[in-house]
Chain A
Amino acid sequence: MKKTILRASLAAFAIAGYAGIATAEPVDEKLTIDGEREMTVKTKAPEGHPFDEVLSGWLFRTKETRALEADSFANPGMLRVEEGEALWNKVEGTAGKSCSTCHGDAAESMKGVGAAYPKWDKDNNRPINIELQVNKCRTEQMGAEAYPFDKGGQKPLTAYVKHQSIGMPVAADLTAGEMQKWWDKGKEVYYTRTGQLNLSCASCHEQNAGKYIRADHLSQGQVNGFPTYRLKQADLVSLHNRFRGCIRDTRAEYPKAFSDELMALEVYVTWRGTGLSVETPGVRQ
């Protein structure tokens, strides 16, 4: 009996997989977390954007995955956010300080921060993201070592800081310093075809958003949920890791995390999602 049901559902699965065409559009649904916090998953695109509407990657995921993000108890990324909270209060380094020594209650001091990054960093004359800002505080204020890429507390602490802006619209300030120049450079990276497969970000996320590429439903490649919880990896995934993965899939060599190329890409792609809610930690397949 059980076997028959399993077989029947496998067959249904096979048909759905084969006839992806019927279900390819993003869903037309609202994301309300825990039944109370309304998120903007669809909004009018900013001036000069190639799309009329920007859409969160959440709209392209399955019903099950969407449900996980809509319930903060079910969202597996929230456990990592809690780890981030512990790190926020943990004294590290020669100065005997924690993040909270200087910033106090993150719910107040970090509210809006995640929505406004990447920012212009005058000291280093380049854009800075949350990961690099955390490292700057660690080395310059705490006498602690910088976290290596994706290691130590980098992912949970970044997720914790960004989570304080959940629901707020993404709005990076491109007028500060030379942000516009970095936006230009990021745009160039976005449209440059790489690798043996000769594809750019736009080949997949602009020309083919909404379509299936084998088993993957292509979204607009928005960054508002990062670090996201990826079910496939059963872990938080950082933005630069995702960028590198997508570039690697074109069969290209990929740039270092936080390199000029990827920082420029972060500035540009963040702008492409202007107005979407910060979803950190988003849940993805």
Chain B
Amino acid sequence: MKSSLKWALAVALTSIPTMAVAGMVAPDSVKIEDGVIAMSVSGTAGNPEAGAKIFKSKKQGNCLACHANTAMKKQLFHGEVGPTLDGVADRWKPGEIRAILVNSKAVFGNETVMPGFYSLEVGKNPRKDLIGKTILSAQEIEDVVAYLGTLKE
């Protein structure tokens, strides 16, 4: 696919994240095999710049709540509940990063405190307006996967 076409698609998809789109995998149909999700869950490639915004945003990924990331040192307050994500792309392949984001428990085990960002396996009594909803949309997952792909040492 020409990269300009990819971009156009990515933009179109972020504006309609909850609609079923050809190539998009619903959260309860995602298959994680050996800690890997090989294919994009949105059917499109992610946009690393959009991913960086989602990563920082308290309302979206809020990844900084738990992870330090030197590439974002201008942001105040990096958490330390999870490991620093410096060089994360050297440690994990994109398919592995995607699986960690979609459902961290499938990779790290049930004890992990990292939320599953595209999973319907949630805790008890989720807020009523969030029932059946994932923290991030399929395209937002792909955007963050693309962003983490830039974090090389």
A residues near B, CB below 8 A? 13-14, 17-18, 20-21, 24, 192-200, 203-204, 207-208, 211-215, 218, 250-254
Ordered by A's residue number, 12 sampled pairs between the chains whose C-beta atoms are within 8 Å are A194-B125, A195-B125, A196-B122, A196-B123, A198-B121, A199-B115, A208-B113, A212-B78, A213-B81, A214-B64, A218-B81, A251-B126
Q: Quick check: is B128 within 8 A (CB to CB) of the other chain?
A: yes
Q: A198-B115, A199-B115 are in contact. Are A14 and B123 (CB under 8 A)?
A: no
Q: Quick check: is B130 within 8 A (CB to CB) of the other chain?
A: yes
Q: A207-B113, A213-B65, A252-B127 are in contact. Are A195 and B122 (CB under 8 A)?
A: yes
Complex Cα distance A195/B133, Å?
Answer: 11
Inside 8 A of B76's CB, which chain A residues have their CB? 13-14, 17-18, 215
Inside 8 A of B58's CB, which chain A residues have their CB? 214
Contact yes or no, B115 A212, CB < 8 A: no
Q: In the complex, how many angstroms separate the beta carbon of B82 from the nearest chain A beta carbon?
A: 10
Q: Quick check: is B57 within 8 A (CB to CB) of the other chain?
A: no
9 A-B pairs with least C-beta separation = A193-B123, A215-B77, A198-B123, A194-B123, A214-B65, A17-B76, A203-B113, A17-B77, A253-B125
Contact yes or no, B126 A211, CB < 8 A: no
- Give the nearest-CB partner of A203 in chain B: B113
Q: Quick check: is B18 within 8 A (CB to CB) of the other chain?
A: no
- Give the nearest-CB partner of A192 in chain B: B124
Main secondary structure on B side of the interface with A: loop
- Beyond the given pairs A195-B123, A213-B66, A215-B77, 9 more chain A to chain B contacts, judged by CB atoms under 8 angstroms and listed by A's residue number, are A18-B77, A20-B68, A21-B68, A24-B80, A196-B126, A196-B130, A198-B122, A213-B79, A252-B126
Main secondary structure on A side of the interface with B: loop
Q: In the complex, how many angstroms separate the beta carbon of A208 from the nearest chain B beta carbon?
A: 5
Q: Mark B103-138, 1 if CB is under 8 A from A, else 0.
A: 000000000010110000111111110100101000
Contact yes or no, B81 A196, CB < 8 A: no
Which of B68, B76, B135 has most A Cβ within 10 Å? Answer: B76
Q: Quick check: is B2 within 8 A (CB to CB) of the other chain?
A: no
- Give the nearest-CB partner of B70 in chain A: A18
Q: Looking at the complex, which one of A13, A192, A208, A253 makes contact with B81 (CB distance below 8 Å)?
A: A208
Complex Cα distance A195/B115, Å?
Answer: 10
Inside 8 A of A197's CB, which chain B residues have their CB? 115, 122-123, 135
Contact yes or no, A20 B123, CB < 8 A: no
Inside 8 A of A199's CB, which chain B residues have their CB? 113, 115, 123
Q: Looking at the complex, which one of B62, B65, B113, B123 makes contact with A192 (CB distance below 8 Å)?
A: B123
Q: In the complex, how many angstroms separate the beta carbon of A120 from the nearest chain B beta carbon?
A: 27
Inside 8 A of A211's CB, which chain B residues have their CB? 79-81
- Give the nearest-CB partner of A207 in chain B: B113
Contact yes or no, B127 A251, CB < 8 A: yes
- Give the nearest-CB partner of A251 in chain B: B127
Contact yes or no, A20 B73, CB < 8 A: no
Q: In the complex, how many angstroms separate the beta carbon of A20 from the nearest chain B beta carbon?
A: 6
- Give the nearest-CB partner of B66 in chain A: A213
Contact yes or no, B78 A18, CB < 8 A: yes
Q: In the complex, how many angstroms separate the beta carbon of A212 from the nearest chain B beta carbon?
A: 5
Q: In the complex, how many angstroms separate the beta carbon of B103 from the nearest chain A beta carbon?
A: 10
Complex Cα distance A198/B127, Å?
Answer: 11
- Give the nearest-CB partner of B104 in chain A: A198
Complex Cα distance A198/B122, Å?
Answer: 5
Inside 8 A of B74's CB, which chain A residues have their CB? 14
Complex Cα distance A215/B64, Å?
Answer: 10
Q: In the complex, how many angstroms separate the beta carbon of A234 from the nearest chain B beta carbon?
A: 22
Contact yes or no, B77 A20, CB < 8 A: yes
Complex Cα distance A118/B65, Å?
Answer: 34
